[in-house]
Structure 1
Amino acid sequence: MTATPKAGPVDVHAHWLPADLFGLPPGAPYGPLRDRDGQLYLGEVPLSIATKAMSDVPAIRADMAEAGIAVRVLSAPPFAFPVAGSAPDYVDAFNDALGAVVADSGGALLGLGLVPLDDDAAATARLERLVSVPGIAGVAIPPLLGGESLDRGTLRHVLTDCARLGLSVLVHPMQLPRPEWRDHYLANLIGNPVETATAVAALLLGGVHDALPGLRICFVHGGGCTPGLLGRWDHGWRTRPDVRRDSTRPPGEAVRDLWFDTVTHDPALLGLLTERVGKQAVVCGSDYPFDMAQRDPVGFAIAGGLDTATLTANARSFLGVTS
């Protein structure tokens, strides 16, 4: 990433998708996206999002101004991840459109691209292409894919390539359906935090963190269940050889080398996150424009004991910004 972002608070977790890609990748389980009287639907499910909030750059910039955000890092919404099969044309179309939007923003917008998730060679080719796109800092990926997480298969291949190429990785849950979570939005309220915690554990206990010490990786929603589980993971690591066989440090120690955003919805949980991972590991996020977004991300973080200078420095470190 050679583009220089503007000075000031950075929101590392925000979503954007151009309207001509609302059809979503082939085989997407929920889609397509539809506009109905200015509101966005995923299939037949209302998202409680104004259509222009997802696709309109001026609307995004207006929200940034209101929230006191100087730089916003845009990534695809998770339902646009190409998880159901080959979608190279969709990936290329998104990355090209994202590159154009970022280039025209004067340093106010940065981007995290997509990558094919069914072909390691195709993933490598896209990642090598993204390195040369100004303002594209890396990629966004799901925490789980085909029954595997970050320690195996294509997801681990992507992480290995990102570490080699100096690209940042944002891990965003998919809100995967399960029968026991069919009601009350539980696939989001419970499923998302569980997906993310699974990925953090796979990264730390699966030896990925040890193998890729230079990897810059951030987990959204405050790491999901991670802050509350680190003590349990550490106990298991110390008492069971099968837990620690692939890693060299207990999770509670190694986790301080990762990044986590502030979208926790609970000041006490943000405080626990900061205590467990350290202030140097926390970055500002909003989850714009979803209904679960943190509407005043900077204010929420400051109320939780963080400061804008630290948050901004952390975000720039995660993104690999050196100037």
Structure 2
Amino acid sequence: MAEQTLGSESGHRLKPRCACGIDVHAHVVPEHFPAYLGSKAPSDWPSTVAAAPVNGLCHRSVMISGKNYRTVSEKCWSVTHRLADLAAMGLQHQAISPMPELLSYWMAPSDAAQLLRYLNEQIAGMVAESNGALIGLGAVPLQDMDLAIAELRYAVETLGFAGVEIGSNVNGVPIGAPQFDPFFAACEALNAAVFVHALKPTGMDRLVGPPPLQQVLAYPTDVGLASASVITSNLVLRRPKLRIAFSHGGGTLAMLLPRLQKGWSVFPALKEQVLSAPMEQARQLFFDTLVFDPTTLAQLVRQFGASQLLVGTDYPFNFHESAPLQQLDAAALDAHTVEQLTHGNARRFLARTFTKANT
């Protein structure tokens, strides 16, 4: 098993660590998108065009509605590059899911179903090529319950995925809304993990600055509200076997949770609606470690519990955590907690037991 020697922020060398980490937050963009099968492609059907190479890597621009949404490198679709980077990051396994903008909730349901089936099969191909290192998290057209559940079943039962990635909202409706309960019931029945990623966040009109502030500030806000909606709708009480995780450390939830807990004890209407203490419900959710700060990470462990945090990197985009295990060391966590966060919790979340051949 490969080992890695990490450097700390203070410049001291840390002892070698086995490359056994599991990353639950990493994305895929295919090199090409399929031609639309209908008579006329919708305006927001994605495509890619060649872009200038950078640092020896091929790049392509993802075009949506005639605009360049993002230019990405071949690491988004190359299993060879991805596996090499995993080892360098101290990781051995990675759950891969589509770039969130590709979830396509705003498309006509039949169009989205066609696109997402292609993405899921692309992910399945990468998983097969990886010889057990990659785990699939697919996508479903949540704007249509019947189609979403059918694609969930295909992803889990046919493609062998551990679960799915969903957005923090579906066309402005938070995922805790009752209309999505049949989908979460199906996830529970199929033992499918659910990874929630920020998508088309609210509050963009309140930001002052360039477009990257969407990722920097608005994403954590939206995922915080999404996780709060799961608590205030009692989703985990209705679906106690559901495994659901939130990106970006749960965003703003850690700061909102004490206020929600206090409000629950003060306002009768809140106590009538929320059937169990918000703090208790929050500790049944999972959260990734993608907060870029060891002090914040240590606080999340105290807030949500050492059993609920999972390594997340946002690989391979520029705004990703390139040394996730170093962040765990810098947070001054005990050895058992580090082991849980490195791989133990992810095994439970993904419901995967890895053999010695691929661990």
Output the TM-score relative to the length of structure 1.
0.90
2:201 pairs with 1:186: no
Aligned to 1:291: 318
Identity of aligned residues (%): 29
The separation in 1 between residues aligned to 2:113 and 2:180, in whole angstroms, is 16
2:331 pairs with 1:316: no
More deviation, 73-82/297-306: 297-306
Per-residue CA distance 1:90-116 (angstroms, 9 max, x = gap): 111111121122122221000100111
What letter matches 1:217 in structure 2?
I
Q: CA deviation at 1:82?
A: 1.7
What letter matches 2:330 in structure 1?
A
Per-residue CA distance 1:30-60 (angstroms, 9 max, x = gap): 955543113444445574x652121211111
Per-residue CA distance 1:141-198 (angstroms, 9 max, x = gap): 0011122112225543322211121100000001437233362332222210111111
2:104 pairs with 1:82: yes
Query: Residues 26 and 316 of structure 2 are in contact (CA less than 8 Å); yes or no, is this contact kept in structure 1?
Result: yes
The separation in 1 between residues aligned to 2:206 and 2:60, in whole angstroms, is 26
Q: CA deviation at 1:65?
A: 1.4
Aligned to 2:86: 64
List alignment gaps of at least 5 residues for structure 2: 1-18, 54-58, 355-359
- Give the number of the structure with larger relative contact order, counting CA–CA contacts within 8 Å between residues 6 or more apart: 1
The separation in 1 between residues aligned to 2:123 and 2:191, in whole angstroms, is 19
What SS is found at the alignment partner of 2:162?
strand
Q: Mapping of 1:275-286 within 5 angstroms?
A: 275-286=302-313
Q: Mapping of 1:105-254 within 5 angstroms?
A: 105-133=130-158, 135-152=160-177, 155-176=180-201, 178-181=204-207, 183-184=209-210, 185-254=212-281
The separation in 1 between residues aligned to 2:158 and 2:138, in whole angstroms, is 10
The separation in 1 between residues aligned to 2:304 and 2:275, in whole angstroms, is 18
Match of 2:51 among 36, 50, 54: 36
RMSD: 2.5
What SS is found at the alignment partner of 2:163?
strand
Q: CA deviation at 1:27?
A: 6.0
Q: CA deviation at 1:11?
A: 0.5
Q: CA deviation at 1:310?
A: 1.1
Query: Residues 283 and 314 of structure 1 are in contact (CA less than 8 Å); yes or no, is this contact kept in structure 2?
Result: yes
Query: Residues 261 and 285 of structure 1 are in contact (CA less than 8 Å); yes or no, is this contact kept in structure 2?
Result: yes
Count of aligned positions? 316
Query: Residues 28 and 82 of structure 1 are in contact (CA less than 8 Å); yes or no, is this contact kept in structure 2?
Result: no
Q: CA deviation at 1:268?
A: 1.4
Query: Residues 61 and 69 of structure 2 are in contact (CA less than 8 Å); yes or no, is this contact kept in structure 1?
Result: yes
What SS is found at the alignment partner of 1:75?
strand
The alpha-carbon distance between structure 1 residues 175 and 195, as it changes in their structure 2 partners (threshold 3 A), is same
More deviation, 34-43/195-204: 34-43
The alpha-carbon distance between structure 1 residues 107 and 189, as it changes in their structure 2 partners (threshold 3 A), is same
What SS is found at the alignment partner of 2:169?
coil
Choose 1 or 2 for highest CA Rg: 2
What letter matches 2:264 in structure 1?
W
Query: Residues 22 and 33 of structure 1 are in contact (CA less than 8 Å); yes or no, is this contact kept in structure 2?
Result: no
